[in-house]
């Protein structure tokens, strides 16, 4: 009975994810371009950054766990050409493998954003990205209702309607977003952002276009976040963050904070520790280290929902590697907009 109950819970949660949720990271604060295209070039403490991200979910209960890999880079350009402003250029790649049917998703996006200072203590940004997405599925690893003969699945399909008409689909996608940052002093930085994903409502279906309700459009996804960087003293910088996403009938709310502790006077070595909570799903522990502007962050999702009794509360693990830098000489960098050591 316990095994049957687990199958029901997992099937329902997976079905909801397939219908309504895009790829997502627990370390949303380390995935700026996937969260909001207006984050492109929105780098308060550097001129450019590059990063890689890896997420492994449900490996404790699935033979084929969900694995997501992302790589991104963005930079500020034309700072000397635009008065009190600049452009942000960037790109990112997402690759995801999910489930026993080996559903593979690949997304490639390029993004552009415009940033304008409002006086000396605030900044407004608008941006968009355009991308290409591809999904593939291995139908030989799937089972259909007609294959069940009362005892087991015999791989014989009685109804041809169950067979996927396509196993490889591609489409173009677009997202838009805005940001506002407020930094009244060198010790306070507050950022609010909002983005809309899939504004062109692309179609995504492994069935032919004449199958009526099987021909689906990707629901528009709304994402809002608020973050801050606060420096209470010369040894500690605190970063509280909150994130909310809604798409079709699925919602996600995350909040928490992490802190950087200065291990050296110049801030060249920092210890990172924090905690976050995904409402109704998981508590997330965060730890990391930053050395000479290269930061490594690890997080682990501890399941708090009903699924926890089946996966022993072992949810997902994530790894993020991020490098930031300045165009100018390291001895005379541009003035940062946010608190620094």
Residue 12 burial (CB < 10 Å; 0-12/13-18/19+)? exposed
Q: Which pLDDT value is given to residue 39?
A: 96
Percent over 90 (pLDDT), the chain? 52
Residue 5: its H or E element: helix 2-20
CB 113 within 8 A of CB 42: yes
Q: Hey, where are the domains in the chain? A: 2-325
CB 265 within 8 A of CB 55: no
Q: Is 2 helix (H, G, I), strand (E, B) or coil?
A: helix
Rounded Cα–Cα distance for residues 237 and 225 (Å): 19
Residue 221: its H or E element: strand 221-230
CB 268 within 8 A of CB 330: no
Residue 174 pLDDT > 50, yes or no?
Answer: yes
Residue 102 pLDDT > 60, yes or no?
Answer: yes
Q: Which pLDDT value is given to residue 15?
A: 35
- Phi, psi of 213, deg, nearest 5: -70, -10
Mean pLDDT of the residues in the chain = 82
Residue 14 pLDDT > 50, yes or no?
Answer: no
Which of 149-163, 194-208, 274-288, 293-307 is predicted with the least confidence, judged by mean pLDDT? 149-163
Residue of 255, 199, 191, 192 lying closest to 222 (CA atoms)? 199
- The architecture that CATH gives domain 2-325 is Beta Barrel (2.40)
DSSP category for residue 265? T
Q: What is the mean pLDDT of residues 301-323?
A: 78
Which of 97-106, 141-150, 229-238, 294-303 is predicted with the least confidence, judged by mean pLDDT? 141-150
72: β partners: 51, 92
The widest CA-to-CA distance across the chain, in whole angstroms, is 74
Q: What is the mean pLDDT of residues 253-278?
A: 92
Confidence of residue 312 (pLDDT cuts 50, 70, 90): low
Q: What is the mean pLDDT of residues 270-299?
A: 94
Which of 18-27, 80-89, 116-125 is predicted with the least confidence, judged by mean pLDDT? 18-27
**Exposure of 256 in the CB half-sphere (CA atoms within 13 A):** 21
Tokens of 54: 């890896």
Rounded Cα–Cα distance for residues 73 and 41 (Å): 9
Q: What is the mean pLDDT of residues 84-103?
A: 85
Q: Which pLDDT value is given to residue 261?
A: 95
CA 143 to chain centre: 30
Q: Which pLDDT value is given to residue 209?
A: 60
Tokens of 73: 């880079």
Q: Which pLDDT value is given to residue 106?
A: 92
Q: What is the mean pLDDT of residues 139-162?
A: 58
Residue 52 pLDDT > 60, yes or no?
Answer: yes
Q: What is the mean pLDDT of residues 198-213?
A: 74
């Amino acid at each position: 009975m316990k095994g049957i109950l687990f199958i029901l819970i997992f099937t329902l949660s997976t079905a909801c994810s397939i219908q309504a949720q895009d790829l997502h990271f627990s370390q949303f604060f380390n995935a700026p371009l996937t969260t909001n295209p207006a984050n492109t070039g929105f780098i308060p403490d550097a001129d450019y950054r590059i990063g890689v991200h890896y997420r492994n979910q449900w490996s404790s209960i699935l033979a084929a766990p969900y694995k997501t890999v992302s790589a991104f880079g963005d930079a500020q350009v034309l700072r000397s050409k635009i008065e009190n402003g600049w452009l942000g250029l960037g790109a990112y790649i997402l690759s995801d493998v999910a489930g026993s049917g080996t559903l593979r998703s690949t997304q490639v996006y390029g993004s552009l954003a415009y940033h304008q200072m409002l006086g000396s203590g605030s900044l407004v940004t608008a941006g968009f990205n355009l991308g290409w997405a591809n999904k593939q599925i291995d139908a030989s690893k799937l089972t259909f209702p007609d294959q069940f003969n009362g005892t087991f699945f015999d791989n014989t399909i009685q109804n041809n309607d169950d067979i996927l008409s396509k196993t490889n689909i591609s489409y173009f996608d677009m997202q838009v977003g805005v940001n506002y940052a407020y930094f009244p002093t060198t010790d306070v930085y507050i950022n609010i952002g909002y983005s809309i994903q899939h504004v062109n409502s692309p179609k995504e279906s492994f069935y032919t276009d004449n199958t009526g309700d099987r021909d689906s459009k990707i629901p528009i996804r709304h994402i809002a976040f608020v973050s801050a960087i606060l420096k209470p003293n010369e040894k500690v910088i605190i970063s509280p963050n909150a994130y909310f996403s809604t798409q079709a009938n699925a919602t996600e709310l995350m909040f928490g904070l992490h802190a950087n502790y200065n291990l050296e006077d110049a801030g060249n070595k920092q210890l990172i520790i924090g905690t976050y909570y995904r409402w109704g799903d998981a508590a997330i522990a965060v730890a990391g280290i930053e050395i000479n502007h290269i930061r490594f962050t690890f997080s682990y999702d501890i399941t708090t929902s009903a699924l926890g009794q089946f996966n022993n509360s072992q949810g997902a693990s994530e790894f993020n590697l991020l490098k930031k830098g300045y165009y100018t000489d390291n001895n005379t960098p541009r003035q940062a907009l946010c608190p620094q050591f």
